[in-house]
């Protein structure tokens, strides 16, 4: 299957390229400079010229805090583009898979969030991503929305790389300990997407469309995740300062963060027969690669 990937230069986009061959796919990935994910003519041409058999959107406005003062740009890429993608995919009679986020949920309570839980995003980023989910679904066609969280990879800018960079110069790292979620390797997300596409492409598979939750296990706080990152870095001789646990109130940001980002992944596991991955395996792969980038 030939898979057209938008946002091919991002964390998940690069992972889709890296994992394609082993999964039996041909990933044709375009970064923003090659194909603008908001450009109808460019996307239609890419679908036609590549002979794409599926369209995956890994493009997003992910600068969560910047979005609070740049809503127009966030809305164009996060809210408007997915509806366009879904329409073009339906026009070409190919499935469309859209990557979304835990930020579309309220992030309250303590129980893992199910796909059926009410959406109540608390930030511009969350609201625009939720609008994109709705637009993609309303466009029709074979559409699946994969919500994930706390994404990291052996490349790009992410929490893991930031912690390693700070550890090289800081005597201690102050990290929020009252937000809980599931770190998720971009490579695991790529594997999850490739697991989805055959069923999503099959009209007989009625349960393969709609919203699915997928994230790494076990659930942890940001502070606990930071400890794991630094422990892994120490195995490679990197400095290992202590992590000081703080509250969200002690680290104010322009955009509100969900306190509970833990997702219930039971529906994904049932439909696609793949259990949530252990993020610690992905972390062990990512850390040595990210250390080389510091």
Helix axes 159-167, 222-234, angle to 10 degrees: 60
Nearest residue to 65 (alpha-carbon basis) of 253, 261, 260, 258: 253
Nearest residue to 36 (alpha-carbon basis) of 97, 80, 87: 80
Q: What phi and psi values does residue 275 have, to the nearest 5 degrees?
A: -80, 155
The catalytically annotated residue of 61, 103, 125, 268 is: 125
Average pLDDT over residues 273-294: 97
Average pLDDT over residues 135-161: 97
157: confidence class by pLDDT, cuts 50, 70, 90: very high
Give me 244's structure tokens. 């000081």
Asked if residues 276 and 112 have their Cβ atoms less than 8 Å apart, the reply is no
Let me know if 125 is a catalytic residue. Answer: yes
The pLDDT of residue 24 is: 96
pLDDT for 57-93, tens place per residue? 999 999 999 999 999 999 999 999 999 999 999 999 9
* pTM (whole model) above 0.85: yes
Average pLDDT over residues 12-22: 97
> How many Å apart are CA 168 and CA 125, to the nearest integer?
31
The pLDDT of residue 56 is: 98
Give me 220's structure tokens. 């942890």
> How many Å apart are CA 94 and CA 292, to the nearest integer?
39
Chain mean position to CA 162: 18
111: confidence class by pLDDT, cuts 50, 70, 90: very high
> How many Å apart are CA 137 and CA 117, to the nearest integer?
17
C-beta atoms surrounding 254 within 10 Å: 12
Chain mean position to CA 243: 26
> How many Å apart are CA 135 and CA 87, to the nearest integer?
9
234: confidence class by pLDDT, cuts 50, 70, 90: very high
Which CATH number fits the domain 2-291, given the four candidates 3.40.50.720, 3.40.50.2030, 1.10.287.70, 3.40.50.1100? 3.40.50.720
> How many Å apart are CA 233 and CA 221, to the nearest integer?
18
């Amino acid at each position: 299957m030939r898979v057209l990937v938008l946002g091919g230069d991002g964390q998940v986009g690069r992972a889709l390229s890296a994992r394609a061959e082993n999964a039996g796919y041909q990933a044709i990935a375009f970064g923003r400079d090659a194909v603008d994910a908001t450009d109808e003519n460019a996307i239609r041409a890419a679908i036609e010229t590549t002979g794409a058999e599926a369209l995956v959107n890994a493009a997003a406005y992910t600068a969560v805090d910047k979005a609070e003062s740049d809503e127009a740009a966030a809305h164009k890429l996060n809210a408007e583009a997915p509806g366009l993608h879904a329409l073009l995919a339906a026009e070409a009679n190919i499935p469309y898979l859209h990557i979304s986020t835990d930020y579309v949920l309220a992030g309250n309570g303590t129980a893992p969030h199910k796909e059926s839980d009410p959406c109540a995003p608390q930030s511009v980023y969350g609201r625009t991503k939720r609008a994109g989910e709705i637009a993609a679904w309303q466009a029709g066609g074979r559409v699946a929305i994969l919500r994930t969280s706390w994404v990291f990879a052996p490349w790009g800018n992410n929490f893991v790389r930031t912690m390693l960079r700070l550890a090289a110069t800081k005597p201690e790292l102050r990290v929020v300990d009252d937000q809980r979620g599931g770190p998720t390797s971009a490579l695991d997300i790529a594997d999850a997407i490739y697991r989805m596409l055959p069923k999503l492409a099959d009209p007989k598979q009625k349960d393969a469309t709609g919203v699915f939750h997928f994230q790494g296990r076990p659930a942890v706080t940001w502070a606990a995740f930071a400890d794991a990152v630094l422990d892994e870095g120490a195995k490679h001789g990197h400095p290992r300062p202590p992590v000081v646990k703080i509250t969200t109130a002690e680290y104010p940001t322009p955009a509100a963060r969900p306190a509970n980002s833990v997702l219930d992944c039971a529906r994904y596991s049932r439909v696609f027969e793949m259990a949530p991955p252990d993020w610690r395996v992905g972390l062990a792969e990512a850390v040595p690669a990210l250390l080389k980038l510091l």
